[in-house]
Amino acid sequence: MPMITMNGAISMFTHTDIKPFFYVCSDNDFPRQQPELFATAMRLSEHVALWEDQFEAIETPPSGRSLSLKKAPRASFLATLFGREKSLVRKTSFLSKRSKDIGFSKDLAAGCFDARTVMYLALQVAYHLGFNKVFLVGFDLNQAAGRFYETAQINRSPCGLDQHYHTRILPSLKLMANSVIDSRFQVYNLSSTSRVPTHIIPKVSVDDAKRILAT
């Protein structure tokens, strides 16, 4: 099955014969903080998705194909009022400035929304590429647990999950659940301990995932 991996999760591929179909990195500091992991991602991945300015700054060029990411522009009043942006699904609210940054992109050429978690960016990549079933692995969103690939011997990157969970992450996932997920695009969560409620993204077991894929 094609796999999209993100940031330090590339470490799970280093001792396998599996090459990630896509590698996504939304953290501009990650190449500097985790240079070995980032270099591994550039070497192993068939495709790489980074912010436009990241490609200009990285020292290790990707061996596979590249996809430049850009943030979706703020919606104009008329676009929000009349829903003129077919590729960008947005949360419509004229009272909240933060709501202008809540959205989901169906076409990355029009820009994308980061929601302060790289997994949400990867979901938009999956939609853009035409996948109709997405299984999230390791989507716990537990800041206290830390990142599995970080040890005491290496630099630990700042984490803002708790800071952004209720203001950006959860509202973005709710938007996706209400306005994007349908019979043509379905998302499942393989993390039994995930912070995300099941009514937003249903939790499934590995056996459940195998049965779904078999159909």
Q: Tell me: the pLDDT tens digits for 17-37?
A: 999 999 999 999 899 888 999
User: What are the tokens at 59?
Assistant: 């020292």
194 or 85, higher pLDDT: 194
Q: Which of 52, 21, 30, 13 is nearest to 158 (CA)?
A: 30
Helices (H) and strands (E) in the chain, counts: 8, 8
Q: CA 204, CA 210: separation in Å to the nearest integer?
A: 10
Token pair listed for 148: 């599995």
Residue 92 has pLDDT above 80, yes or no: no
**Model pLDDT, residue 69:** 96
Per the rule left: phi > 0, alpha: psi between -120 and 50, beta: everything else, 172 is alpha
Secondary structure element (H or E) that encloses residue 177, with its range: helix 170-179
| pTM, two decimal places | 0.89
**40-49, 88-97, 111-120, 124-133: least confident range:** 88-97
Residue 15 to residues 19, 154, 173, 176, Cα–Cα distance (Å): 10, 20, 32, 34
What local confidence, expressed as pLDDT, does residue 164 receive?
83
Q: What per-residue confidence (pLDDT) applies to 84? A: 60
Cα-based angle 156, 166, 103 (whole degrees, multiple of 5): 95
DSSP H or E segment with residue 90: strand 88-90
**Mean pLDDT value across residues 134-139:** 96
CA distances from 137 to 6, 35, 191 (A): 11, 23, 6
Above 90 in pLDDT, residue 94?
Answer: no
Confidence of residue 3 (pLDDT cuts 50, 70, 90): very high
Average pLDDT for 152-161: 61
Give the residue from 203, 172, 171, 175 showing the smallest Cα distance to 187: 203
pLDDT score of 78: 58
Q: What is the mean pLDDT of the chain?
A: 88
Residue 42: alpha-carbon gap to chain centroid: 17
Q: Is 150 exposed, middle or buried (0-12, 13-18, 19+ CB in 10 A)?
A: middle
For residue 77, what pLDDT is reported? 55
Distance of CA 89 to CAs 69, 125, 156, 186, 196, Å? 17, 14, 34, 16, 21
* Averaged pLDDT for residues 41-56: 94
What secondary structure letter does DSSP report for 189?
A: E
Q: Which of 168, 166, 56, 73 is nearest to 112 (CA)?
A: 73
Determine the Cα–Cα distance for residues 10 and 121; give it in Å rounded to an integer.
Answer: 16
